[in-house]
A and B are shown apart, each in its own frame.
Chain A
């Protein structure tokens, strides 16, 4: 760095510090201070699929349809729609009065551009539409139409899906950005506008009420209905240390914690002026994911050996702690409490854990004490806890486990490697799936068993794929249930992955807030602060 360059940097730095806008200190009833689950490092909800970005995106961008608490899509930006009886032509009309934060009206061509960008990046539902598409066109400023060459009856679910990436509507010039490049302007037509000048990644993100937003008349229900915001500002404060965040809530420095640490629930419950309750009724499913490409786990017997030895109680205790009301054992792949939930075929996950049989199965599978590479993201508490339990479990069934402590970014890279485990590949990693994504096979990438194109681990089972197809073809709920029961058994027998249990987290807030609902995402509308 030469001196002039440095001086320039220093000057920019100094002017930045001085010109930093005054922050509202007096956090009155018009400012909500929220601690999100993770840092908001960027804000392109199509480019990245992190949940925290989606949650921020829900404030900035509006959606064509929004799901209610039964996950049914309801009209949000659209006023009406029409589909041909063969589900090949879909016509949508936008409701009047929609406006972007830069003052421009929302036009059908903005929607078309947004759909085009989103389709490319949404593998479960967007790509299938793209494959079927003959034309997607703006008929006039308020009307757009899909013309498909094959029927697509699940169109409304796709356009209104709440799992990432969501179809957020952006202005055409922004939506024209390459889907693999980040957008740099965060202009939407949602109820809040993003204050880019106050954004300090890793520390703070500020949203300001958008006066031009016209909420729907209906009462809000999750992402559907009228999104009425009762705050001038919503400040997201990033507090990376969970203990510090809980302390800040107790002392009233923040209003709402999205994901307090499970072991601190009792403390927060006792604290005056703090309320604690379940955050997401659909919860999460823990995942023990094996690499199907290499021994020993290329052999189904080795996968079953782990399946019969694995104690979901141990995993859940380590992930969520002592409060057993927060977790359930899960001898199935689908979200408990949803219509398609089944335990068919889950016997091997129930009852007494059998280490001897597990050892026998491993021997049958030809396992001879080769090192087992276990990737553990130690910076994410849920994966760290699961990894620690797994290391202990594998030792008990006589496996030679190599625990590789990594950060989430490195696990993200390593798990994509199809190399042999001793050459930079892997045998096992852990993650978890949002219950909202596990209600049916459509958004459930982790259950796909198509081999090379499947999710990391690359399970390949024609039987599982056949059952998934059977669900897509099912004409009614009864048929869907039958298909899912068979799918669950096939996936259990094949051991696509091993669920480590179903668990829920709680959220905590100051009692002067009211209107906080349970949902898979923070719902800011209709929340008020006394």
Chain B
């Protein structure tokens, strides 16, 4: 088990290295000049050149990459071109909203999607099943921002139940914190919910036809218990898997959701940085995202052993 984890962690290092090189090269060849943005509308071309030189943007590719990578090895992601703040500091400021959004989305999606999937499987072939499935397909056929605006319009502007935008730290209390996050989490969660409901239904159908479930039923175990204990436990592996795979999509959706609801999270940081060509920030955040993605999938692998004792490493 330990050696498995060690191997998995080791195998992620080349992945992250490749990502690092890839991301760096991408941005190096990008057009768009941060120096011109900084200098502003009234600056002369000579000013722009001097600013570019002072940022070290005129050095050759390998020198800049080597320099950057050496610092990363020391846990230093560099300094933002625009704000002059350390990238680690900027990421730290933005982590809470994004992590909160992702976790709440996950909770909401799982809470609704799993019962939906289970019921659809249980009522297989009926209109309930159809309704759940159509809702699910609709859920991932609609862009996140459309759902976001509809929710904001109805629940924030018309009904005035929840705030339109912003984020409140959990240190201000649980309810103020949740209030700002409910709409974005639901908007973001619909796609995830759809995915999870579908996979839950599919695996439940599979599991329900297995011998041991039939045995349990024959033994007179109650229907609910069969569904939620025996069957669901065995359907857990694919569900956990889809949660892991969907994580990348979730982060992508978070980028858009954070824009719509003005949440100061990592997604908006990334988009702003890309649009402004703030290279160190883009590099730092993308590295972080891909590292987290790899970690999440490592965690998913480890969860298999919990849900399915047959899996051994």
Contact = CB atoms under 8 A, between A and B. Distances in A.
A22 B169 contact: yes
B31 A247 contact: no
A409 interface: yes
Interface stretch (B79-87, B109-117, B209-217, B235-243): B79-87
A412 B37 CA distance: 6
Contact of B165 (A5, A239, A410, A455): A239
Interface in A132-190: 163-164, 178, 180-182, 184
Nearest to B276: A409
B106 to A, nearest CB: 18
B64 interface: no
A456 B48 CA distance: 12
Nearest to A443: B42
B8 to A, nearest CB: 12
A25 B33 contact: no
A9 B73 contact: no
Interface string A1-25: 1111110110011111100101101
Interface string B47-61: 110110110000000
A247 B33 contact: no
Contacts of A13: 88, 91-92, 95
B47 A17 contact: no
The size bracket of the interface on A is 35 or more
A251 interface: yes
Contact of B95 (A4, A17, A164, A237): A17
Interface residues of A, dominant DSSP:
loop
B39 A48 contact: yes
Contact of A407 (B82, B92, B152, B275): B275
Nearest to B263: A203
Interface in B170-220: 171-173, 176
A241 interface: yes
A50 B38 CA distance: 8
Interface stretch (A39-47, A297-305, A503-511): A39-47
Contact of B164 (A4, A253, A408): A253
A180 B50 CA distance: 7
B167 to A, nearest CB: 8
Interface string B240-274: 00000000000000000001111010001100100
Contacts of A251: 156-157, 160, 163-164
B73 A16 contact: no
Nearest to A8: B75
Contacts of A202: 264, 268-269, 272
A409 B83 contact: no
Interface in A34-83: 39, 41-42, 44, 47-50
A42 B79 CA distance: 12
A500 interface: no
B20 interface: yes
Contacts of A413: 31-33, 35-36, 48
Contact of B82 (A180, A201, A412): A201
Contact of B156 (A16, A201, A247): A247
A363 interface: no
A407 B165 CA distance: 25
Given A5-B75, A48-B40, A408-B37, A20 B32 contact: no
Contacts of A412: 33, 36-37, 39, 41
Interface in A228-247: 237-241, 243-245, 247
Contacts of B163: 248, 251, 253
B230 interface: no
B73 A244 contact: no
Given A41-B276, A121-B47, A412-B36, A4 B75 contact: yes
A12 B17 CA distance: 22
B262 A23 contact: no
Nearest to B273: A202
Contact of B264 (A22, A200, A410): A200
Contacts of B261: 244
A178 to B, nearest CB: 7
Nearest to B82: A41
Contacts of B50: 180
A453 interface: yes
A240 B262 CA distance: 7
A16 B93 contact: yes
A17 B262 contact: no
Given A164-B42, A253-B164, A9 B47 contact: no
Given A203-B268, A240-B259, A244-B165, A22 B287 contact: no
Contact of B54 (A12, A178, A203): A178
A148 B41 CA distance: 30
A193 B251 CA distance: 36
A445 interface: yes
Contacts of A410: 31-33
Contacts of A488: none
Given A20-B171, A184-B84, A244-B260, A47 B165 contact: no
B44 to A, nearest CB: 6
Contacts of B272: 39, 202, 240
B88 A47 contact: no
B42 A49 contact: yes
A247 B151 CA distance: 13
Given A17-B96, A121-B47, A244-B260, A1 B37 contact: no
A502 to B, nearest CB: 18
Contact of B51 (A2, A180, A244): A180
Interface string B89-109: 111111110000000000000
B275 A123 contact: no
A181 B54 contact: yes
B164 A6 contact: no
B156 A431 contact: no
A416 B48 contact: yes
Contact of A9 (B20, B33, B88, B276): B88
Contacts of A247: 152, 156-157, 164-165
Contacts of B21: none
Contacts of B264: 200, 202-204, 238
Given A23-B169, A379-B275, A431 B36 contact: no
Nearest to A407: B275
B139 interface: no
B169 A20 contact: yes
25 contacts: A1-B75, A2-B13, A5-B73, A6-B75, A14-B95, A20-B169, A25-B168, A25-B173, A41-B82, A42-B38, A47-B38, A50-B40, A124-B42, A163-B42, A200-B90, A238-B264, A240-B272, A244-B152, A245-B262, A247-B152, A248-B262, A407-B275, A409-B275, A412-B33, A414-B31
Among all A-B residue pairs, the 7 with the closest Cβ atoms:
A16-B92, A203-B264, A49-B40, A412-B36, A413-B33, A8-B75, A5-B75
Given A178-B54, A201-B82, A244-B165, 16 more contacts: A1-B73, A5-B72, A9-B91, A17-B96, A42-B82, A42-B84, A50-B40, A180-B53, A180-B54, A200-B90, A245-B165, A248-B165, A251-B160, A431-B41, A445-B42, A455-B42
